[in-house]
């Protein structure tokens, strides 16, 4: 399947992040077995990066224990914040068929010596010492002073037979087990990494200055809206704090923003923001910039943090809803100047941060979540004025769009781009090819064509398509998403089908898409789509010249599009055709229905 090919590209990319002295990650092309082993280790890197936000290769490698005499533990992770210890066992398969169908065995599960290792045993029951990495794990556990407070969990990166699932806890020593089968790996590891939304921070710490040269303490306000009670904290924070946040969390902290991480790079605003950091030693930035709006479930402020002239703000489940342009630009500067060790450009420069907290504990009504989302949408519309937000951007977080994106990836392994630039990280990192991405504007035209509206699909205004009432009428739900993908694939194949009619290539693609949409059946197997499309397109396009002959014969079409003319020099009669106008005209749909009978 296409998801497996993406997974393989990601794993190879992570594998090649290893420094050259890590030779096990850089086998020669002919060393097949070594390549398979290297990919197996890189597969664990994928889990560690996406789940725990371990960006650097060496940071992840420290937790890999996979080797001989590893006690059945391939990796581990110590979550100090949540007092949790994870033990990871992984079974990567080197073909798509095996990856999606082969299960972990009973014996492999029994091989996990977690009980012995957490009790400090340095060797297995056979008397053979565990490997060096497991010895380091034991020392790591011994160094944790409050280890009894930690809970343990086993992560299985493998398929598990349904008959074994009820027995997992017993087989693994009584510890809770979380299974990542192939579907979860695609949806919860691959997709988030490609979209740059893979690390969901639950609590964010922001350090601010409170000395006499800074803005100092916050303003706190408690507005009551028709949807929800809120707390608003307004304070100036160091620009470097915002820069570090977006540099690390990217799209995961922009879920409610109408634009995504890389899309924010467009336009001249970035240059102006950048210069107000790089061209000034003083704090003009605080005056020139409109600030950043952040949402949270809770916000805690304290100036008693054991640091002179410092305070800290703890933000739960943060999301930047406005000011993404500012945050993005600061992060680009941070990444650039971090390499040169010149982060002093951020000194004494602050930005206004407004944090809106929704007071979840005080809003326990059953409609709270729905009301919260309505309020978020209104805040987004009202505050995103620093650069233009188009209607298509405003629809990016509509429920139907989110569900559509999920379903298309799940069934077809394609990436529906509901936010512009959403998958830029994946492309830039070489995780996916641009051909895997579905442009939202192109997709909405395909939807119209498949709904027997080829004229509007070809000639209609995209801006109008995404107006709320029009958009809702085109995409009221996701029930026809398979039909839309079938038609999308057909549209892309049209130019590759041989035809005697040049109009097929340029004017008639949306019309042909409408015709083939009427041959779609929900009973079609996805694996058969390509062959079915080829068969139907060959038939439809093979008859297209005859269809155009038919269209030329109707009286109404002759009146508007195919007028009889005389050559003044020769006196010969000829038909002046205007196919461009015809394929945008009012008679087209009726002609298609009558000729192709649908």
Give the pLDDT confidence of 365-382 residue by residue, as tens digits.
Answer: 566 677 777 777 777 767
Report yes or no on 391 lying in a domain: no
Q: Which of 140, 168, 195 is the last residue of a domain?
A: 195
Query: Do 375 and 490 belong to one domain?
Result: no
Asked whether 160 and 178 are in contact (CB, 8 A), the reply is no
Looking at residue 479, what is its pLDDT? 97
Q: Which two tokens stand for residue 268?
A: 């001249």
Better pLDDT: 79 or 265: 79
The neighbour count for residue 193, using CB atoms within 10 Å, is 24
Looking at residue 365, what is its pLDDT? 58
Lowest mean pLDDT among 172-181, 433-442, 567-576: 567-576
Asked whether 578 and 562 are in contact (CB, 8 A), the reply is yes
Better pLDDT: 406 or 211: 406
pLDDT band at 389 (very low <50, low <70, confident <90, very high): low
Query: Do 134 and 256 belong to one domain?
Result: no
pLDDT band at 342 (very low <50, low <70, confident <90, very high): confident
Query: Do 214 and 335 belong to one domain?
Result: yes
Looking at residue 75, what is its pLDDT? 97
Query: Do 261 and 310 belong to one domain?
Result: yes
Query: Do 103 and 232 belong to one domain?
Result: no
pLDDT band at 484 (very low <50, low <70, confident <90, very high): very high
Query: Do 191 and 53 belong to one domain?
Result: yes
Better pLDDT: 443 or 428: 443
Asked whether 357 and 299 are in contact (CB, 8 A), the reply is yes
186-209 pLDDT, tens per residue? 999 999 999 988 877 788 888 888
Better pLDDT: 215 or 15: 15
105-160 pLDDT, tens per residue? 888 888 889 999 999 999 998 999 999 999 999 999 999 999 999 999 999 999 99
Query: Do 189 and 207 belong to one domain?
Result: no
Better pLDDT: 92 or 337: 92
For residue 151, CA distances in Å to 88, 90, 118, 243, 462 come to 14, 21, 12, 34, 53
Q: Which two tokens stand for residue 287?
A: 């005056």
Q: Name the percent of the chain lying above pLDDT 90.
A: 58
Better pLDDT: 448 or 107: 448
CA-closest candidate to residue 241, choices 355, 346, 357 = 346
pLDDT band at 460 (very low <50, low <70, confident <90, very high): confident
Query: Do 377 and 413 belong to one domain?
Result: no
Asked whether 349 and 285 are in contact (CB, 8 A), the reply is yes
State the maximum Cα–Cα separation within the chain, in Å, rounded to a whole number. 105
580-591 pLDDT, tens per residue? 999 999 999 999
Q: What is the mean pLDDT of residues 214-226?
A: 76
Query: Do 110 and 23 belong to one domain?
Result: yes
Q: What is the mean pLDDT of residues 526-552?
A: 94
The neighbour count for residue 372, using CB atoms within 10 Å, is 18
Asked whether 321 and 258 are in contact (CB, 8 A), the reply is no
Q: How many domains does the chain have?
A: 3
Looking at residue 553, what is its pLDDT? 92
146-167 pLDDT, tens per residue? 999 999 999 999 999 988 888 8
Report yes or no on 238 lying in a domain: yes
pLDDT band at 384 (very low <50, low <70, confident <90, very high): low
Query: Do 69 and 157 belong to one domain?
Result: yes
For residue 575, CA distances in Å to 508, 548, 564, 578 come to 20, 13, 5, 10
Looking at residue 51, what is its pLDDT? 94
Strands (E), 93-247: 151-157, 177-179, 203-209, 219-221, 231-238
Looking at residue 155, what is its pLDDT? 96
Query: Do 235 and 158 belong to one domain?
Result: no
What is the DSSP secondary-structure string of 468-514? HHHHHHH-S-STTHHHHHHHHHHHHHGGGS--S-THHHHT-HHHHHH
Looking at residue 543, what is its pLDDT? 92
Looking at residue 337, what is its pLDDT? 87
**Where residue 126 sits, what CATH number does that domain have?**
3.40.91
268-318 pLDDT, tens per residue? 457 778 888 988 988 889 888 889 999 998 999 888 777 788 888 999 989
The SS3 assignment for 356 reads strand
CA-closest candidate to residue 326, choices 232, 242, 206 = 242
Looking at residue 236, what is its pLDDT? 92
- List Cβ<8 Å contacts ≥24 apart for 544-551: 544/499, 544/501, 544/503, 544/504, 544/508, 544/512, 545/499, 545/500, 545/501, 547/591, 547/592, 547/595, 547/596, 548/501, 548/503, 548/579, 550/591, 550/595, 551/582, 551/587, 551/591, 551/595
Better pLDDT: 543 or 360: 543
User: What region does 124 belong to: left with phi over 0, alpha with psi -120 to 50, or beta?
Assistant: beta
Looking at residue 53, what is its pLDDT? 87
Report yes or no on 20 lying in a domain: yes
Looking at residue 503, what is its pLDDT? 58
CA-closest candidate to residue 428, choices 2, 9, 4 = 9
Report yes or no on 393 lying in a domain: no
Q: CA-to-CA distance for 74 and 91, rounded, in angstroms?
A: 9
Looking at residue 269, what is its pLDDT? 55
Q: CA-to-CA distance for 50 and 46, rounded, in angstroms?
A: 6
pLDDT of residue 266 exceeding 70 = no
Give this prediction's pTM. 0.83
pLDDT of residue 446 exceeding 80 = yes
pLDDT of residue 387 exceeding 70 = no
Which DSSP letter does residue 82 get?
T
The SS3 assignment for 438 reads strand
Lowest mean pLDDT among 38-42, 80-84, 337-341: 337-341
Domain hosting residue 575, numbered range: 405-596
pLDDT of residue 95 exceeding 60 = yes
Chain mean pLDDT for the chain: 88
Q: Where is mean pLDDT largest: 2-16, 419-433, 491-505, 554-568? A: 2-16
Looking at residue 290, what is its pLDDT? 85
Asked whether 249 and 201 are in contact (CB, 8 A), the reply is yes
Q: Which of 172, 195, 218 is the last residue of a domain?
A: 195
CA-closest candidate to residue 359, choices 274, 303, 305, 298 = 298
Looking at residue 262, what is its pLDDT? 62
Looking at residue 265, what is its pLDDT? 61
The neighbour count for residue 86, using CB atoms within 10 Å, is 20
pLDDT band at 425 (very low <50, low <70, confident <90, very high): confident
Report yes or no on 318 lying in a domain: yes
The total number of residues written for the chain in this structure: 598
pLDDT of residue 219 exceeding 60 = yes
pLDDT band at 455 (very low <50, low <70, confident <90, very high): very high
Looking at residue 42, what is its pLDDT? 97
The SS3 assignment for 75 reads strand
Report yes or no on 399 lying in a domain: no
For residue 125, CA distances in Å to 66, 71, 87, 171, 511 come to 19, 10, 19, 17, 71
Report yes or no on 436 lying in a domain: yes
Report yes or no on 286 lying in a domain: yes
Looking at residue 187, what is its pLDDT? 96
Query: Do 168 and 222 belong to one domain?
Result: no
Looking at residue 1, what is its pLDDT? 57
The SS3 assignment for 450 reads helix
pLDDT band at 364 (very low <50, low <70, confident <90, very high): low
Q: In the sheet that 319-322 helps form, which strands lie side by side, from edge to edge?
A: 219-221, 231-238, 350-357, 292-296, 319-322
Looking at residue 533, what is its pLDDT? 97
Q: Which of 195, 226, 256 is the last residue of a domain?
A: 195
Q: CA-to-CA distance for 587 and 551, rounded, in angstroms?
A: 9
Q: CA-to-CA distance for 387 and 264, rounded, in angstroms?
A: 9
Q: Which two tokens stand for residue 583?
A: 């394929």
Q: Determine whether 308 is exposed, middle or buried from the number of CB atoms within 10 Å of its CB (0-12, 13-18, 19+).
A: exposed
Q: Name the percent of the chain lying above pLDDT 70.
A: 92
Q: Which two tokens stand for residue 67?
A: 């080797």
Q: CA-to-CA distance for 200 and 497, rounded, in angstroms?
A: 45
The SS3 assignment for 214 reads coil
Return the H-helix or E-strand segment holding 293: strand 292-296
């Amino acid at each position: 399947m296409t998801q497996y090919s993406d997974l393989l590209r990601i794993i190879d990319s992570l594998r090649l992040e290893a420094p050259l002295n890590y030779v096990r990650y850089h086998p020669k092309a002919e060393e097949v077995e070594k390549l398979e082993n290297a990919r197996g280790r890189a597969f664990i890197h994928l889990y560690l990066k996406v789940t725990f936000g371990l960006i650097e290769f060496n940071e992840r490698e420290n937790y890999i224990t996979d080797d001989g005499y590893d006690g059945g533990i391939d990796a581990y992770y110590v979550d100090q914040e949540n007092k949790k210890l994870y033990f990871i066992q992984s079974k990567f398969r080197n073909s798509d068929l095996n990856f999606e169908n082969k299960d972990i065995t009973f014996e492999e599960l029994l091989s996990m010596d977690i009980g012995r290792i957490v009790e400090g045993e340095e060797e297995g029951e056979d008397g053979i010492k565990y490997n060096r990495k497991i010895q380091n794990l034991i020392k790591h556990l011994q160094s944790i002073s409050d280890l009894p407070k930690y809970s343990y969990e086993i992560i299985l990166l493998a398929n598990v037979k349904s008959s074994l699932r009820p027995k997992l806890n017993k087989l693994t020593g009584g510890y809770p087990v979380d299974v990542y089968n192939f579907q979860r790996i695609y949806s919860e590891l691959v997709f988030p990494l490609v979209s740059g939304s893979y690390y969901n921070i639950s609590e964010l710490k922001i350090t601010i200055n409170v000395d006499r040269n800074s803005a100092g303490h916050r303003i706190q306000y408690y507005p009551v809206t028709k949807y929800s009670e809120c707390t608003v904290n307004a304070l100036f924070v160091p620009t470097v704090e915002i820069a570090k946040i977006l540099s690390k969390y990217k799209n995961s902290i922009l879920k409610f923003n109408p634009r995504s991480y890389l899309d924010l790079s467009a336009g001249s605003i970035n240059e102006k923001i950048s210069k107000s950091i790089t061209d000034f030693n003083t704090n003009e930035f605080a005056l020139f910039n409109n600030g950043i709006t952040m949402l949270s479930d809770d916000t805690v402020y304290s100036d008693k943090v054991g640091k002179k002239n410092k305070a800290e703000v703890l933000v739960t489940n943060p999301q930047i809803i406005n000011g993404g342009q500012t945050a993005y630009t600061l992060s680009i500067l941070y990444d650039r100047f971090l390499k040169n060790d010149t982060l002093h450009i951020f000194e004494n420069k602050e930005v206004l941060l407004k944090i809106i907290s929704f007071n979840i504990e005080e809003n326990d009504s059953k409609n709270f979540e729905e009301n919260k989302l309505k309020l978020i949408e209104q805040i987004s519309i009202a505050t995103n004025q620093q650069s233009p937000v188009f209607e298509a951007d405003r629809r990016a977080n509509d429920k139907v769009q989110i569900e559509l994106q999920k379903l298309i990836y799940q069934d077809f392994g394609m990436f529906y781009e509901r936010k512009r630039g959403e998958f830029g990280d994946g492309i830039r990192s070489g995780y996916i090819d641009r051909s895997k991405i579905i442009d939202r504007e192109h997709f909405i035209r395909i939807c119209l064509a498949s709904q027997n509206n080829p004229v509007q699909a070809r000639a209609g205004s995209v801006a109008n398509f995404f107006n709320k009432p029009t958009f809702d009428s085109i995409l009221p739900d996701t029930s026809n998403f398979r039909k839309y993908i079938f038609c999308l694939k057909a549209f892309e194949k049209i130019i590759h089908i041989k035809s005697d009619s040049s109009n097929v290539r340029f004017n008639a693609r949306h019309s042909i898409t409408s015709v083939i949409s009427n041959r779609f059946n929900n009973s079609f197997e996805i694996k058969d789509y390509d062959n079915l499309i080829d068969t139907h397109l060959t038939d439809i396009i093979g008859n297209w010249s005859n269809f155009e002959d038919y269209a030329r014969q109707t009286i109404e079409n002759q009146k508007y599009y195919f007028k009889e003319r005389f050559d003044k020099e020769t006196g010969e009669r000829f038909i002046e055709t205007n196919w461009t106008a015809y394929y945008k005209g009012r008679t087209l749909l009726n002609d298609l229905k009558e000729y192709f009978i649908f």
